Amino acid sequence: MLRRKLIDLQKSKIALFIGFCVFNNTTQLVPNAAYTKLNYNSVIYDEGNRYDSSNSSWTPVLPGEIPKIVKFSGQAYIIGGAGTNNNNPKFVVKVYKTNHTGIYWVFTGIGTPDMTLPGIVSIQFNGQDLAQPGDSYTVYLNASASMNGNIKFKSPKPGTVLIDSSRYHNFWCGSD
């Protein structure tokens, strides 16, 4: 009986696992004090074909499906221009959900410069959310050079920070 149900599920082409893992295969500049979408454009895997690399968004529940809890984890890795703790830089990653009611953030990751590796900041983020049909998720980074917004980042271009392109440093994954 159980074997027959499993075969029926396989024939119906219902995905038993929905999930993705992506990274950015090119470096990305992020300006001071502006939330900027991180471009995760290279797919490691995308079970269920729900990740859209053209706009770096994931839609885990399609119209007509039932709501479900989804989990996220990832890391944004700044390799240039992160400054030091002396100028009070702030680094915030937010995962935003967009649906028929608008756009709002569902969870946040916060980072500070690594004192042993000048200019480097690693921001881990993870969380979960109840995804409704049609909800899509994207990741944004805000890098503020100081409490008062003065631009003190120095490299690679004044007023910006550089996001790494390594799949081991800068990635985003999610699953149901």
Dihedral in degrees, nearest 10, Cα atoms 140, 145, 146, 149: -70
Q: What is the pLDDT of residues 28-64, one digit of tens each?
A: 888 777 888 999 999 999 999 999 999 999 999 999 9
Lowest mean pLDDT among 9-13, 114-118, 131-135, 168-172: 9-13
Q: Return d(Cα 67, Cα 76) in angstroms, integer.
A: 28
Q: What is the mean pLDDT of the chain?
A: 80
Looking at 12-21, 22-31, 54-63, which range is the least confident one? Answer: 12-21
Which pLDDT score is estimated for 8? 54
- Domains of the chain in sequence order: 40-165 (2.60.120.40)
Q: What is the pLDDT of residue 9?
A: 47
- For 22-38, b/e burial (b = at least 16 CB within 10 A) is bbbeeebebebeeebeb
